Amino acid sequence: MSFFGLECFPKTKGVELERKLRANDREFNRSFKYATNAIKTSKYNFFTFLPLNLFEQFQRIANAYFLVLLVLQVIPQISSLSWFTTVVPLVLVLSVTAAKDATDDINRHRSDNRVNNRKVQVLIDRKLRSEKWMDVQVGDIIKLENNQFVTADLLLLSSSEPLNLVYIETAELDGETNLKVKQALPVTGDLGDDIEKLADFNGEVRCEPPNNRLDRFNGTLTYAGQKYPLDNEKILLRGCTLRNTEWCFGLVLFGGQETKLMQNCGKSTFKRTSIDRLMNVLVLCIFGFLVFMCTILAIGNYIWEVKNGSNFTVFLPREDGNNAGFSAFLTFWSYIIILNTVVPISLYVSVEIIRLGNSFYIDWDRKMYYSRSDTPAEARTTTLNEELGQIKYVFSDKTGTLTQNIMIFNKCSINGTSYGDVYDYTGQRLDISEHKDPVDFSFNPLADPRFVFFDHSLVEAVKLENPEVHAFFRLLALCHTVMAEEKKEGELFYQAQSPDEGALVTAARNFGFVFRSRTPDSISIVEMGNQRNYELLAILDFNNVRKRMSVIVRSPEGKLSLYCKGADTIIYERLHQSCSKLMDVTTEHLNEFAGEGLRTLALAYKDLDEEYFCQWKQRHHEASTSLEDKESKLDELCEEIEKDLLLLGATAIEDKLQDGVPQTIEQLAKADIKIWVLTGDKQETAENIGYSCNLLREEMKDVFIISGHSPEDVRQELRNAQNSMKPDGATNSLLLPEEIGKNLIKDEAADGEYGLVINGHSLAYALESSMELEFLRAACLCKAVICCRVTPLQKAQVVELVKKYKKAVTLAIGDGANDVSMIKAAHIGVGISGQEGMQAVLSSDYSFAQFRFLQRLLLVHGRWSYLRMCKFLRYFFYKNFTFTFVHFWFAFFCGFSAQTVYDEWFITLYNLMYTALPVLGMSLFDQDVNDVWSFQHPQLYIPGQLNLYFSKKAFFKCAVHSCYSSLVLFFIPYAALQDTVRDDGKDVADYQSFALLTQTCLLFAVSIQLGLEMSYWTAVNTFFVLGSLAMYFAVTFTMYSNGMFLVVPLAFPFIGTARNTLKQPNVWLTIILTSILCVLPVVTYRFLLIQLCPTINDKVMFKVRQARATPLPPTRRARIRRTSSRRSGYAFSHAQGYGDLVTSGRFLRRPAVSRSSGFPQVGRATTGFSPMGRSAGYSPTGRPQNLKVPDVEVTSLQMYRTISDAPL
């Protein structure tokens, strides 16, 4: 089920090449048979549930097999067992599964109804009517209001905001909580909210067919004889939320399953664990072995009938036409029924119960509960728990998954002085997390109370009117595209297209340079309590090539200035030569910031000549209206004016990681789990996060950057990386033919630790069929892989590539709708539930609130689940093979007559009552070591990746062990009772006494074997084991009593056998002897194995036994402060073109309410406050103020002073 109905089942239809629709014309649009906006995720209805569900269940080999057995058992000639031995467990299994499927489908129906019955206002017959979502059709015009979900993919027509802008939150699509801006065409924006004009609108849209590209849209609108181009900036996608916009009108382009959100959902596939797939193979092998055993016994029956059968025809006459051949044929099918317990149906019931129980452990785990959002961990599926113990590759989103998507102004460098670190009185740098004395911003009434900074020296420099510091924050307050909203006096809200910009403007706001409002040609800021209006003359906007943005403003004094911020490498190329020494010092600071994983930005400025600027402005206008080479001409003009800049400093923003992310990644790496980060962010941003979360480390030999713009370049870069990591394997850059045939790439060891970073355009080439093996081999040699600028579809393709060529279990973790396809493609999908939206959670198999819980999910719950399931399967096959093989040996002593060696009631209750609870107890409560030891020794996870606990080899060992045990369990009692008499001289060697002794020996032997398998005894386990043995004796004595025989003589023929046999001492000696002989080889083998070649589990369990007491908690990992030569790049993540909206010539917001500056007018007139009595050289941290870098040239900026306006 899905919040937006993500798991739809699309109907197949012809390929649509182009979409054509007309507004307000349902008849015209219906002719194309476009999908409606209704969602259907359910599979059944009231009438189809029973037939469809049974059909699906009997597609499982085991269920079909037991149905065939049931048919055979109702044939008297071949059945030696009663029908109820099969029909009871079969009906139980079918009923439990059907109930579970019905519950899931009822939830889907409820989800469908909840989504489809939402209301939205639709323009019908010239009136706005409230209609259900499912009744909305392509071509309808709908009205959305603030905080409403977008109903379908819409063409924005008009809005309540100036310039027909709307603000949308895309958290459900990409996990980002910062608002995006969309703008309608002017021709449709003029329609406003005039219902008559909107009803008369008959524009025709021709556009691309439904697709999954979230960032691209192509189409045209034809209206009033004119054609208008349509792009992604005019489209509102389903899954978004309207914010800070009173209303807007939109034209429905795509509905329901054809929306881009739905197209990105990926295909829902039925996920099965590797153990499930192995079980299918083993079950087929067991069926084959069963047929083989029955064939041998049928041949034996034929031989016996030919040689000895005629001797019994006197008192067992044959029916007419029955001969030895026909008898052998009937015997074959009889033994098929008797020996079917090699794969009992109770196996599948037990597996489902175990998985359900282990799922509850995840739901109930308080250590995976996030109290801040009141979010517990949730196992959304119950069929994949043991797969969590075998993960080899983790594919993670970045924004909202590794990070909180919260940007924090952390540090800065101004004129050669670094701010942000805190020192004690001895000059030692303190850890900020342990420092509890943040800067007091109470002097600034407009400060954001959520902003926290710890270095008091920076605010002191501001108060002491340090000109460089003032210029630094003035730049941050002016050079941006942020929108300010002030609904109440003094309450400012910033709408930034990227959280980076919001963090920088907020920092300037708190340090006394408050961005208050803007118009298309002016910016209003409050500088240290004084309102100042700067004339905005030009915005040279950011794009991916420029990697910088600039503004040109005129101060109230008439001074022209250009302020620029951008990637440090880009800014450095444009600095004046007088800044060389300051540049060296700032570079050292940038390296420190980058080493700590901070996102850095360089700031510079220059003063402009009025005459030159007028000429430049004229040329800029001519270039912007040019029809040819417009972009290149504008770029040349930007390059011309953005040179000879004077360096101010640099900022360092922390893209705040979620708590415990570095430690989690370190733990997973120790468990030999490889982590790949797949993100839509830029390379610089992703690389910074990689270092800050320990994914990339300075200790790595190299980090390869794959950024080729052609297939040849990408191929060469991949081969160079392979040659560097594995020089001796350079000739084997392509797979061997036999490896290709097997669709597998073997694990290889690189010469050291390496990382790989690849861009989205390079990844597109790398994922092509001719190059995908090269890419995968290079990536698998690396310890960490980061894929940048990837689309949702590419995320899924990377996961599919690893699944296709690596024999490994994959896990994908994300938080947004752009991660849904990746989550569905992986073996295990994990959704992060939080403020970023619920789409990933609704499509996931497991969900929790924080990335750090992943280590507990895998290293504790996953490992325990895998260990328990493997122990369960090994023991279950052992006890049932042993049970069945005794029948096989008995056949050679009963003339191959298909006579059972046990009582029928014992056969029926063996798996349902006598051995069910003990094995379930072990499978639900067993653990080799507790969770603390699991974290201290992550290497315990590695055997699961290698399938060491249950495999074909382990299965073969179980079969051999069972064969040995069955020989002991048959021949020891057989020999013990042969020619044996009781104490009173009566014969005890009858069939019923032998059956009772054999089944009792069997039950004791398998119970002792269970005790040997169990590592963790609890009161529940002990009760189940001893209680099952007690239940066996209670039921046996009851069923073999005189009373039961008198009630139903045919059903209870073993009258008095229990009390007559079990009181004989030699019978109990036989039970003890067989039990010892059954377990002796196992104990010997395990003793020698632990002594000669102990496993990691054996070593850790030995440590646990040595500790005896509760182990001390692991020591906290010391924070490592790295110094790096790497430098972060441009930190912005917003899109190109936003600056044009700012300078478009009309007001972006309604005029704000009249307001004062918000600062009390006290103290000095120039600043609005006094330095609070502190001397110029005093710092509360004991740090000398304004340390100058020696030999740094004095720039003209140091002579610059602010002349404030008169108080408002």
Q: Enumerate the active-site residues.
A: 397
Residues sharing a CB contact under 8 Å with residue 129, sequence separation 6 or more, in sequence order: 121, 122, 123
If DSSP states are collapsed to H, E and C, what string results for 667-699?
HHHHCCCEEEEECCCCHHHHHHHHHHCCCCCCC
Pick from 580, 462, 593: which is nearest to 1186 by CA?
462
State the burial class of residue 649 (Cβ atoms within 10 Å of its Cβ: 0-12, 13-18, 19+): buried
Both structure tokens of 443: 């002097």
Q: How far are the Cα atoms of 127, 291, 296, 384 from residue 284, in angstroms, in the given order?
A: 65, 11, 19, 22
Instruction: Check: CB of residue 402 under 8 Å from CB of residue 689.
Output: yes
CA distance linking residue 739 with residue 737, whole number of Å: 5
With both helix axes pointing from N to C terminus, report the angle between 863-891 and 274-307 in degrees, rounded to the nearest 10. Answer: 0
Residues sharing a CB contact under 8 Å with residue 589, sequence separation 6 or more, in sequence order: 413, 418, 650
Q: Give alpha helix (H) positions in 1062-1174.
A: 1065-1092, 1096-1107, 1138-1142
CA distance linking residue 756 with residue 779, whole number of Å: 7
CA distance linking residue 646 with residue 576, whole number of Å: 6
Residue whose tokens read 């092998």: 285
The amino acid at residue 265 is C
State the burial class of residue 370 (Cβ atoms within 10 Å of its Cβ: 0-12, 13-18, 19+): middle
User: 489 in helix, strand or coil?
Assistant: coil
Query: In the 8-state DSSP scheme, what is residue 727?
Result: G
Both structure tokens of 650: 């640099």
CA distance linking residue 175 with residue 162, whole number of Å: 27
Sign of CA dihedral 823, 826, 827, 828: negative
CA distance linking residue 257 with residue 586, whole number of Å: 53
Cross-strand bridge partners of residue 159: 248
CA distance linking residue 365 with residue 378, whole number of Å: 9
Residue whose tokens read 């001893």: 1026
Residue whose tokens read 């310039």: 163
Both structure tokens of 666: 């370190």
Both structure tokens of 1018: 């609890």
Sign of CA dihedral 1016, 1022, 1028, 1033: positive
| Distance, C-alpha 1004 to centroid of its chain | 46
Sign of CA dihedral 1186, 1192, 1196, 1199: positive
DSSP for 112-173, written as a single string: HHHHHT-EEEEEETTEEEEEEGGG--TT-EEEEETTPBP-SEEEEEEESSGGGEEEEE-HHH
Q: What are phi and psi of 248, to 5 degrees?
A: -155, 155
Residue whose tokens read 């998954």: 401
The answer for 334, left when phi > 0, alpha when psi is -120 to 50, beta otherwise, is: alpha
CA distance linking residue 672 with residue 694, whole number of Å: 15
